[in-house]
Amino acid sequence: MAGTDNHSNPFKIAQKQINDCADVLKLGQSTREVLLRPMREFHVNFPVRMDDGTTKLFQGFRVQYNDAKGPTKGGIRFHPEETVDTVRALAAWMTWKCALLDLPLGGAKGGVICNPKELSQFELERISRSYIKAVGAFIGPDKDIPAPDVYTNPQIMAWMVDEYSSIIGKNQFGVITGKPLSLGGSPGRGDATARGGMYTLREAARRVGLDLSKATMAIQGYGNAGSYAASLAQSMFGIKVVAVCDSKGAVTCENGICADTVDAHKRKTSSVLNCEGTRNMTNDELLALDVDVLVLAALENTITERNVDKVKAKILVELANGPTTPDADEVLYRKGIHVIPDFLCNAGGVTVSYFEMVQNAYMYYWDEAEVHEKLDKRMTKAYHEVVELSEKYKINMRKAAYAVAVARVVEAMKLRGWV
Ligand SMILES: NC(=O)C1=CN([C@@H]2O[C@H](COP(=O)(O)OP(=O)(O)OC[C@H]3O[C@@H](n4cnc5c(N)ncnc54)[C@H](OP(=O)(O)O)[C@@H]3O)[C@@H](O)[C@H]2O)C=CC1
Ligand SMILES: O=C(O)CCC(=O)C(=O)O
Q: DSSP state, 173? A: G
Name residues whose C-beta falls within 8 Å of residue 417's C-beta, 6 or more positions apart in sequence: none
d(CA 127, CA 108): 20
Q: DSSP state, 399? A: H
Residue type, 168: I
Nearest ligand to the C-alpha atom of residue 352 = 2
Q: What is the pLDDT of residue 182?
A: 97
* Best mutation site among 350, 355, 360, 371 for ligand 2 pocket (most ligand atoms within 8 Å of CB): 350
Residue of 368, 316, 325 lying closest to 345 (CA atoms): 316
Nearest ligand to the C-alpha atom of residue 190 = 1
Residue type, 69: K
Q: What is the pLDDT of residue 337?
A: 98
Query: Measured at the alpha carbon of residue 191, what is the angle toward residues 41 and 380, in degrees to the nearest 5?
Result: 85
Q: What is the pLDDT of residue 203?
A: 99
**How far is ligand 1, taken at its centre, from the CA of residue 335, in Å?**
27
Terminal-to-terminal C-alpha distance of the chain: 33
**Closest protein CA for atom 9 of ligand 2:** 350
* Best mutation site among 224, 262, 265, 267 for ligand 1 pocket (most ligand atoms within 8 Å of CB): 224
Q: What is the pLDDT of residue 348?
A: 98
Atom number, ligand 1, closest to the C-alpha of residue 299: 43
d(CA 67, CA 38): 10
Is 353 flagged in the annotation as binding?
A: yes
Atom number, ligand 2, closest to the C-alpha of residue 145: 3
Q: DSSP state, 70? A: S
Atom number, ligand 2, closest to the C-alpha of residue 178: 1
Q: Is 178 in the pocket of ligand 2 (CB under 6 A)?
A: yes
pLDDT digits (tens, 9 = 90+) for 332-367: 999 999 999 999 999 999 999 999 999 999 999 999
Q: Is 247 in the pocket of ligand 1 (CB under 6 A)?
A: yes
Say if residues 144 and 177 touch (Cβ distance below 8 Å). no
Is 95 flagged in the annotation as binding?
A: no
Q: What is the pLDDT of residue 394?
A: 96
**How far is ligand 2, taken at its centre, from the CA of residue 343, in Å?**
10
Q: Is 229 in the pocket of ligand 1 (CB under 6 A)?
A: no
Is 193 flagged in the annotation as binding?
A: yes
d(CA 121, CA 141): 27
Q: Is 220 in the pocket of ligand 1 (CB under 6 A)?
A: yes
Q: Is 223 in the pocket of ligand 1 (CB under 6 A)?
A: yes
Residue of 118, 113, 105 lying closest to 147 (CA atoms): 105
**Closest protein CA for atom 7 of ligand 2:** 75
Say if residues 86 and 11 touch (Cβ distance below 8 Å). yes
Spans in the chain with pLDDT lower than 50: 2
Say if residues 38 and 88 touch (Cβ distance below 8 Å). yes
Name residues whose C-beta falls within 8 Å of residue 50's C-beta, 6 or more positions apart in sequence: 56, 123
The number of residues making up the chain comes to 419
**How far is ligand 1, taken at its centre, from the CA of residue 362, in Å?**
32
Q: Is 155 exposed, middle or buried (0-12, 13-18, 19+ CB in 10 A)?
A: middle
Task: Please spell the DSSP secondary structure of 87-155, one letter per residue.
Answer: HHHHHHHHHHHHHHTT-S-EEEEEEEE--GGGS-HHHHHHHHHHHHHHHGGG-BTTTEE--B-TT--HH
> Going from the N-terminus, what domains does the chain have, and what CATH number goes with each?
39-178 (3.40.50.10860), 192-345 (3.40.50.720)
**Closest protein CA for atom 26 of ligand 1:** 247
Q: What is the pLDDT of residue 132?
A: 98
Tell me the ipTM for this assembly. Answer: 0.99
**Closest protein CA for atom 15 of ligand 1:** 150
Is 4 flagged in the annotation as binding?
A: no
Is 224 flagged in the annotation as binding?
A: yes
Indicate the pairing of strand 249-252 with strand 240-246. antiparallel
Catalytic residues: 109
